[in-house]
A and B are shown apart, each in its own frame.
Chain A
Amino acid sequence: MGRMTSEPRAFVAIDSGSATRSASLVGRVGDRWRLLGSLAAPSTVPLESIVELVVERVLAADPALASTLVADGGPDPTGAAATIAGSLRQVTATTGAAPRIAVVAATDRTLDRLTALARSAGWETIGMSVASADALAIGRLLLARDVDAILAGSADPPGGDERGALPDLAALLGATAQRRPERTIVLAGGLADQAARVVEGRSNDAEGGPVLAPAANVGDPPGEPLRALLDELAARAGPGRRTTVRAVAALAAVLDRSIEAVDIGRSGGLRIVARPGPPGAAPTVHWAVDSRAALVPSTIGDEIVDGVLAWSVVALDRHRMRDRLRELRDSPWGEPYGDGALLRLAAARAAVARLVAATRELDRPTAPDLVLAIGGAWAVAPGPAIALALSDVLRRPGASQLAYDHARLLGPLGAIVDPGELREVIADLADDLLAPLGGVVVPAGLRPGRTAGRLVVHAAGGSTELDLVPGGLELVDLPPGSSAVAELQFRDQVSLGTRGRRFALELGGGLGGLLIDLRDVPLRLPDRLDRRRELLGAWQQSLWAGLED
């Protein structure tokens, strides 16, 4: 894609996902880029209709703006919105269903490692091992129509329990290569030594051979080289969420803040941990994708149902919950209000929990400066409710700002190829693209008791003083755009990134204000579902205005 900002005075950023299409109109106002308007609709709605409506609404709100949006030689700025919309350049991010990889190995141990790596690289996996399936079942898996690639591997050197199975596995892969020459086969670890058997008998016009890769336990961290290779292969199937990773990295550099982003969508979940580098250096970015961390995964097993029930404040039995989740998976835009909104947020919490569990390698001991919510899962929930959901699941001691990519801009902006231009656009748009949800302070190591200490918040409007009651949630009104200094004095030592009894933190406000979260780290909830619902409901009630409507 060429430079977006050299000539045009406006462009449309399009996020085309498997559930939602959104269009944001970004225009030059004064000497900087501003978000002028955005609109999201189900992915079955034609994109042109969405873009046209955004432009129409922006022009209706400020007709004078039209002349500043249209480039010289462009259409008549007083003309129809459709014509102006059609003349604007577009920058697009597309996400869809994860590509599918069949994973085979000699042992279940290796299978589990390979499967975890493939998942974190953005593949949907289906796997079998020689130890637990016969050649017929493995052959059926390798030949299945909906498989995009095959990953086969062993330890390097192969373990004693693997060696005997490798020749048969290689022969089976060779037969698959003959019958499906278009299918990419990755041989990892000691199985790569069997590459000659895999290419044996392949027709001469077949393209390439198997891709040889390091074993799942090689590299630092272990498996990283194989994961990088699988990521590269997944990228050939579609850019997926990689543009979001680029944009979050650029945002970390621009804001000079550490960021943890969780993107929960219909086809998968993405977790990004980005830290700004030293001046002039690129930020450090680690990320992982997992298709099982979709808002509702394609297969709704009992563990998925139970996971959502554990966060649900709506009383449903397992059968009914499964039906609701199936409807949510097939029609993510359906009934996003009332009980539907509560269910969606419970599913989002469960998805984040699955994502975090699947990406433990990204865990950091302390909270990042900024926690960013991305993706359709959060689309219609009020800001404070999103803040609470994030705080429920991402629990680390420390203080963070919470924000939401409300216009779904990060994905498309990450598609701007030129790094300098990407940084420039993100620097201009940072305030517009992030909806501030609030600040959250999570101390760990509080002892049970009537009070753990005192909090004084010094804001522009005056000071607020509160008792710190262990197990509770305290909310301080701090509107978006304002900041405050919070002085916390605890009776005993606690962890807030560092250990101590007295802390002074500068925090920004947001839609949910300032949340002092004195609940356990990690969160402990009653085992009984009814009591759990009651407690979750009470917390949610305090932050979700209009919930009782």
Chain B
Amino acid sequence: MAIVDLIPTRPLATDRPRIRIALGPGDRPLVAEGDAVDAGTPLVERLRDARIELVPDAGSAAAPGDRVGVRPRHARRDAERRMDDGELLFSDGGRQRVVVGESVDLVEAPASATVREVRSGSHLTIETTGRAVPGVLALGVPTYGRLDLATDEDGELRPGSVDVGRAGTILVVGSRVDAETLTRARAMGVRGMVVSTLPAKEERDFSASERRQRAALHQLPPFGVVVLDGAIRRPIAGPIMALLRSLSGQQVGLSIDPPALLFEAAESVTFDPDAIRVRHGSLAGREGRWAGPAGLRRFAGGVHLEAGFVRLDDGEIRALPLADLERFA
């Protein structure tokens, strides 16, 4: 038994991840179980202005979840009186409650995949054919685009650095990003961002901006953000950055549930198995190699923790708590 085994491992990439897309009542799945889809294939029409219409139930055999015909409320001429349809939520007292709406967002597949499960009103699951770098948080909607390294692993992207020349790309923006940069990137047609950390304030501000846009029924281009590490600033891990560099210029996808960067190039996933990364504490983000167990040691605050020696990238050897470290697997 080696002490190094007590260091938590983090998967650099997982195979054939399953991705879930939330559906609400009224959302229309455009695919069926077993369908093969490519990146960009429309999966769902998501209602932005869902509402309930009361429709007389003339003994219809429709079950909850079925699509049923609804005549538009404000149609005046016969030509406008074509039947629209909506999703039956429930029937009661001789009336059907049908979820309808006029404005839709299209949710597209973020990667090549097979549709595994379609549960109208609840969720849709696809199994991608490629691999995924797991993250800890994601915002927005699933998306895809060409990967573009906007900064190095420790960089920070300012709003002024994002222009229309980046449209259609998924940007890698290093250690952190703010809400202003995210909203500007969305406005410039950027499809998504991959970032090491996102402070809670920026997350809230960006989510609020998204909600305001939706409330105004603005057509939002698909945009997603995947956070790889957490909330407190640290650079993107070396092995992940190396993988991202190898994927630069290639098409990748972003999954929201679970948070992940999706890619196809299986041969790109290589890393040094002895590499150690400091995930927490004052040295967070530093990397090095395992230099042996340090036993139970006393750390600040008189706390005793299982520790190990790590030879950091600058050659310095430090005794660090095992729980502050991570390895890639």
Residues of A within 8 A of B (CB): 39, 41-42, 44-46, 49-50, 52-53, 56, 81-82, 134-136, 139-140, 143-145, 167-168, 171-172, 174-176, 178-180, 201, 300, 319, 322-324, 326-327, 330-331, 333-338, 340-342, 380-382, 544-547, 549
Instruction: Give 7 A-B contacts (CB < 8 Å), ordered by A residue.
Output: A41-B323, A140-B24, A175-B64, A323-B231, A333-B323, A380-B304, A545-B302
Query: What is the minimal beta-carbon distance from B184 to any residue of chain A, in angstroms?
Result: 21
B300: contacting residue among A42, A327, A331, A337, CB under 8 A: A337
How distant is the Cα of A178 from the Cα of B10 in the complex, in angstroms? 41
Q: A139-B25, A333-B323, A338-B301 are in contact. Are A144 and B90 (CB under 8 A)?
A: no
In the complex the two chains form, is B199's CB within 8 Å of A175's CB?
Answer: no
Give 1 or 0 for each of B21-36: 1 = CB within 8 Å of chain A CB.
0101110000000000
Indicate if the CB atoms of A167 and B93 lie closer than 8 Å. Answer: yes
**Which one of B103-111, B115-123, B216-224, B308-316 is at the A interface?**
B115-123
Chain B stretch 176-210: residues in CB contact (< 8 A) with chain A: 199-201
Chain A residue numbers with a CB within 8 Å of B120 are: 179
Asked if B321 is at the interface (CB within 8 A of a chain A CB), the reply is yes
Whether, in the assembled complex, B78 has its beta carbon less than 8 Å from a beta carbon of chain A, the answer is no
Give the complex CA separation of A424 and B323 in angstroms. Answer: 35
Residue on A nearest B199 in the bound complex, by CB:
A323
* Cβ A139 vs Cβ B121 within 8 A: yes
Q: Complex Cα distance A49/B5, Å?
A: 7
Residues of B within 8 A of A56 (CB): 1
> With A336-B305, A338-B301 as given contacts, are A300 and B279 in contact (CB-CB < 8 Å)?
no
Residues of B within 8 A of A81 (CB): 1
A136 and B99 in contact (CB under 8 A), knowing A45-B5, A326-B230, A380-B303? yes
- Of listed B10, B121, B123, B232, residue having the most chain A CB within 10 A: B121
Q: How far is the CA of A176 from the CA of B121 in the complex (A)?
A: 10
User: Would you give the shortest CB distance from A280 to chain B, in whole angstroms?
Assistant: 43
Measured between beta carbons, the chain B residues less than 8 angstroms from A53 are 1, 3, 5-6
- Which B residue sits closest to A173, measured CB to CB? B90
Q: Which residue of A lies closest to B125 (CB)?
A: A145
In chain B, what residue has the closest Cβ to A42?
Answer: B8
Within 8 A of A (CB), among B273-301: 279-281, 298-301
Docked complex: B87-114 residues within 8 A CB-CB of A: 88-93, 97, 99
Interface size on B, residues (CB 8 A): 55
A-B pairs, 5 with minimum CB distance: A546-B302, A338-B300, A334-B280, A175-B64, A175-B90
Indicate whether A145 sits within 8 Å of B231 (C-beta atoms), given known contacts A44-B9, A175-B89, A323-B200.
no
A301 to chain B, nearest CB (A): 11
**CA A381 to CA B26, docked complex, whole Å:** 51
Tell whether A136 pairs with B51 under 8 Å between CB atoms, given A45-B6, A53-B6, A330-B230: yes
CB <8 Å contact, B231 and A179: no
Instruction: Give A47 Cβ to nearest chain B Cβ, in Å.
Output: 11
Residue numbers in B under 8 Å from A145 (CB-CB): 20, 22, 119, 122-123
- Known contacts: A53-B1, A331-B280. The answer to whether A143 contacts B231 by CB under 8 A is no
Asked if B93 contacts A319 (CB within 8 A), the reply is no
Within 8 A of A (CB), among B228-275: 230-232
B39 contacts partner chain A, Cβ-Cβ < 8 Å? no
A140 to B9, CA, bound (A): 37
Partner of A341, one of B5, B201, B303, B324: B303
B52 at the interface (CB under 8 A from A): yes
Query: Are B6 and A50 closer than 8 Å at their CB atoms?
Result: yes
B136 at the interface (CB under 8 A from A): yes
What is the CB-to-nearest-CB distance from B153 to chain A, in angstroms, rounded to a whole number?
19
Beyond the given pairs A140-B121, A337-B281, A381-B303, 14 more chain A to chain B contacts, judged by CB atoms under 8 angstroms and listed by A's residue number, are A41-B8, A46-B5, A49-B5, A135-B52, A136-B52, A143-B25, A167-B92, A326-B230, A334-B324, A337-B301, A338-B303, A544-B302, A546-B303, A547-B301
B159 on the interface (CB 8 Å rule)? no
In the bound complex, how far is the Cα of B89 from the Cα of A42, in angstroms? 44
Q: Are A172 and B90 in contact (CB under 8 A)?
A: yes
> Considering the chains assembled together, what is the distance between the CA atoms of A14 and B320 in angstroms?
26
Bound Cα distance A322, B321 (Å): 24
Q: Are B199 and A319 in contact (CB under 8 A)?
A: yes
CA distance A350 to B232 in the complex (A): 22
Partner of A335, one of B231, B280, B322: B280
Complex contacts, B99 vs chain A, CB 8 Å: 136, 139
Query: Is there a chain A Cβ closer than 8 Å to B319's Cβ?
Result: no
User: In the assembled complex, which residues on chain A have CB atoms less than 8 Å from the CB atom of B52?
Assistant: 134-136
Q: Provided the pairs A175-B64, A330-B230, A335-B280 are in contact, do residues A319 and B200 lie with their beta carbons within 8 angstroms? A: yes
B1 pairs with A382, CB closer than 8 A: no
Residues on A with C-beta less than 8 A from B5 are: 45-46, 49, 53
Q: Give the residues in chain A near B24, CB-CB below 8 Å.
A: 140, 143
Q: Are B121 and A549 in contact (CB under 8 A)?
A: no
B197 nearest in chain A by CB position = A323
B63 is an interface residue with CB less than 8 A from chain A? yes
- Does B50 have its Cβ within 8 Å of any Cβ on chain A? yes
**In the bound complex, what is the Cα–Cα distance between A135 and B64 (angstroms)?**
14
Contact among A44, A139, A168 with B8 in the assembled complex (CB-CB below 8 Å): A44
- A-chain residues with CB within 8 Å of residue B136 when the two chains form the complex: 330
Q: Whole-angstrom distance between the alpha carbons of A180 and B23 in the complex?
A: 14
Specify the chain A residue showing the minimal Cβ separation from B300. A338
The listed residue with most A CB atoms (<10 A of its CB), out of B51, B89, B299, is B89
B65 on the interface (CB 8 Å rule)?
yes
Closest to A382 in B: B302
Take A326-B200, A337-B301 as given contacts and tell me if A136 and B25 are in contact as well, using a CB distance cutoff of 8 Å.
yes
Contacts of A322 in B (CB 8 A): 200-201, 231
Knowing A45-B5, A324-B232 are in contact, say whether A337-B303 is a contact too (CB < 8 A): yes
A314 to B231, CA, bound (A): 18
**CB atoms of B231 and A327 under 8 A apart:** yes
- Measured between beta carbons, the chain B residues less than 8 angstroms from A175 are 64-65, 88-91
A50 to chain B, nearest CB (A): 7
What is the bound-complex CA distance between A38 and B310, given in angstroms?
25
- The residue on A at minimum CB distance from B91 is A171
In whole angstroms, what is the CA distance A39 to B296 when docked? 12
Chain A: minimal CB distance from B284 (Å): 8
Q: Which residues of A contact B91 (CB under 8 A)?
A: 171, 175
List the B side residues contacting A338 at CB < 8 Å.
299-301, 303
Indicate if the CB atoms of B121 and A143 lie closer than 8 Å.
yes
In whole angstroms, how far apart are the Cα atoms of A45 and B10 in the complex?
A: 10
**Alpha-carbon distance A130/B279, docked complex (angstroms):** 46
Residues A327 and B230 in contact in the complex (CB < 8 Å), given A44-B8, A56-B1, A335-B324: yes
Q: Which of A45, A167, A172, A175: most chain B CB closer than 10 A?
A: A175
Contacts of B322 in A (CB 8 A): 41
> Chain A contacts of B89 at CB under 8 A?
135-136, 139, 172, 175
Q: In the complex, what residues of A have CB within 8 A of residue B300's CB?
A: 337-338, 341, 549
- State in angstroms the CA–CA spacing of A14 and B194 once bound together: 38
Q: How far is the CB of A100 from the nearest CB of chain B, in Å? A: 14
- Chain B residues lying within 8 Å of A168, measured Cβ to Cβ, are 92
B residues less than 8 Å from A46 (CB atoms): 5
Chain B neighbourhood of A319, CB < 8 A:
199-201
